[in-house]
Amino acid sequence: MRDISLALIEKGLSEKIEPYLSVGISPILIIVRSFFKDEEWVDYVTYILDVATIKDDFQKALSRYFDVIYVDTTSGVDLFAIVLPKFGADVSDTESLKDHVEVVENGLIDVFLSDTYIGRIQRQINVFRNPFRTFIEFAVGYAFLRSADTDDIVEAVKLALGRADMRRRVKIDELSRELYHILDTGSVYTYFQPIIDVKEKKVYAHEALVRGPEGSLLRSPALLFKIAHYNGMEMDLDRIVRRKHIETFKKYVKEKKNALLSINLGPFTPMFMDDIEKDLKYAGIPKESIIWEVSENTYIDDFTAFARVIDLLVSEGYQVAVDDFGAGATTFKLIFSINTQIVKIDRSFIENVNQDSAKQMFLERLIGCFYQPDTLLLIEGVETEEEFHALLNIGYRYYQGYYMFRPAPELIDDEEVKALLKDVEYDILSMKFSDYFRS
């Protein structure tokens, strides 16, 4: 509270709000409590994320609902703003403001839980052993600024923070109830994002991704699993999601006999391999059609367990992909310690690669590290045409990302891939890495 109060006073905001107060308009203080809970690494994270970008995102999101006078953050990245109601908005009293803030809060959550934004954050924090409880505690507090007096500003800050904490508790309860409804009804949905082979101009596989109900705050898989973890229901959600993926994929197996499905392996999945085998058999899906994506961050405290899980899956006849390669603490140990079949290179190495010669050099050298006939190197998280062409010039063959195809409820077919790549001539790279890998 002290940080926000001091910031408001030291920035001379009393002078900025006085003209509005003088004509009977009460500005509104909006506070979003920080989702950075671990003080030991707040400074590191805020340096990586660029606080200016966070402030810009916050201001843009708020401007949909208010006229923004001022936006700032504290050192712990509590976000706060002074705003005015937009023309015609009925927020003349605390009760109407409360209703308006509920709409605002949902809009802000949509922004900060978007795939692009949360992805940008998670790429920086997933190496930590105790990641913060990100957006579960996301809540907005509010108060009218009835006076420019210092004591009144401090009281408004205290009131806004109290409301934020109250709304956080209410929001967790609401989300928890919604989670149990989802678990009871099995209302999760499978979306597919293709992995494409630019040499053959076809789909190599599809990754199965989960979505919550349309229109729900738990539409986001990140928040869905966070709330499940918070309630001790992660194992139950993992089982329901996995079965939904298999059930949804079943209808495509008859049409596309060679179709491959890539599924994220949760921390509890290895405990249910017998059940999974039964589900696959019932669905008529051969084990060879399944690729399990295993992230070293799931087993970050036990590399031996991580390697053991991969060996188990391979011995059972499944394909295995190491996900988020480059994001974890044991990245290069993977190269020499594990019988790696597929390696998915983390987005952190791909972002703006067209402008970064160091990344380009690293990615070129990486091909040599994994140059084995049975290994597939996959670039994930390609978001721009410039990134894609930079990676093509290095010689990469397999891709996944929003630039190519966004996740969708239906499988992408080869004709759509050919249309996308009609102007791409992979053969020009034949002198470099023409047959890497999986020729």
256 within 8 A of 286, measured Cβ to Cβ: no
Domain boundaries, the chain: 2-173, 186-433
Distance CA 397, CA 268 (A): 32
pTM above 0.85, yes or no: no
Q: What is the 3-state secondary structure (H, E, C) of 119-167?
A: HHHHHHHCCCCCCCCHHHHCCEEEEECCCCCHHHHHHHHHHHHHHHHHH
Q: Please, what CATH class does the domain formed by 186-433 belong to?
A: alpha beta
pLDDT value of position 184: 95
Q: How many helices (H) and strands (E) does the chain have?
A: 16, 12
Which pairs from 124-127 meet CB under 8 Å and 24+ separation? 124/45, 124/48, 124/49, 124/348, 125/45, 126/297, 126/324, 126/327, 126/328, 127/297, 127/300, 127/327, 127/328, 127/329
The answer to whether residues 73 and 33 touch, using CB atoms and an 8 Å cutoff, is: no
Task: Answer for the pair 409, 198: CB distance below 8 angstroms, yes or no.
Answer: no
pLDDT given for residue 124 in this prediction: 53
- Closest Cα partner for 141 from 183, 104, 189? 104
Q: How high is the mean pLDDT in each 10-residue block of the chain (439 residues)?
A: 59 77 86 59 56 81 88 74 78 78 77 60 46 54 85 85 83 89 95 94 94 88 84 92 94 81 85 88 91 74 74 87 73 64 87 91 84 81 92 92 94 93 66 44
Topology of the domain covering 2-173: Alpha-Beta Plaits (3.30.70)
For residues 413 and 248, what is the distance between their CA atoms, to the nearest angstrom? 16
Question: Which positions ≥6 away from 122 have C-beta within 8 Å?
Answer: 222
Residue 77: its pLDDT value, please?
63
Number of C-alpha atoms within 13 angstroms, CB side, residue 333? 11
Apex CA 198: angle with CA 206 and CA 370, to 5°?
85
Q: Would you state the structure tokens that stand for residue 151, as one six-digit string?
A: 């004591």
Helix (H, G, I), strand (E, B) or coil at 81: strand
Q: What does DSSP assign to residue 220?
A: S
pLDDT reported for residue 40: 47
